[in-house]
Amino acid sequence: MEVNKLKIVFATETGNSEDLANRTAEAAESKGFTVEVSNVEDVTLDDLQGESALVFIGSTMGEGEPPESAWSFHDAISEAEGTPLSSLNIAVVALGDTSYGDLFCAFGKKVEKELLRLGAKKIIDRIDCDVDFEGKYAGWAKQLFATITPA
């Protein structure tokens, strides 16, 4: 799949998702992609309507909740209707902690579910990462860059 521009959005509380977003951006730039990294607090549904490829990297906080910075995005995607994101292709990395049981990676799962409901398509499958996320992230990044190429 050819990608003109890769939009990378992170939703973080303690920095892990932001680190992975920046690392993904560096890897993408070195492969020739045009990249834009954004904090989820600065991203609206309208912004996403203008994008064709989105990497979303976000953690879960509280009891299965979004990071504080992501509530507005959470509400916007939960409340929207129709298929405004039918031109968007997505790849989601959910960070969490398996000790939260049924609430493991709840926010990342919710984001993917809502974006798909709004018409987005998956580039590759979501990964749900426990606290030691390095190995899983490396495999995901490899698969991502085997699937997309710079336009």
Ligand X SMILES: Cc1cc2nc3c(=O)[nH]c(=O)nc-3n(C[C@H](O)[C@H](O)[C@H](O)COP(=O)(O)O)c2cc1C
Tell me the C-alpha distance between 118 and 84, whole Å: 6
Tell me, rounded to whole angstroms, the distance of Cα 44 from its chain centroid: 14
Residue 58 carries which side chain, given as an amino acid letter?
G
Determine the 3-state secondary structure of 36 from DSSP.
strand
Contacts 24+ apart (CB under 8 A), 133-136: 133/16, 133/20, 133/95
Q: Mask of contacts with ligand X, 111-140, x by CB under 6 A?
A: --------------------x---------
Contact between 12 and ligand X per CB under 6 A:
yes
With respect to ligand X, which residue has the nearer C-beta, 16 or 89? 16
Q: Mask of contacts with ligand X, 15-54, x by CB under 6 A?
A: xxx-------------------------------------
With respect to ligand X, which residue has the nearer C-beta, 131 or 138? 131
CB atoms within 10 A of CB 146: 9
Stretch that binds ligand X, among 47-55, 85-93, 99-107, 141-149 (CB under 6 A): 99-107
| Residues near ligand X (CB under 6 A) | 12-17, 59-64, 67, 95-97, 100, 103-106, 131
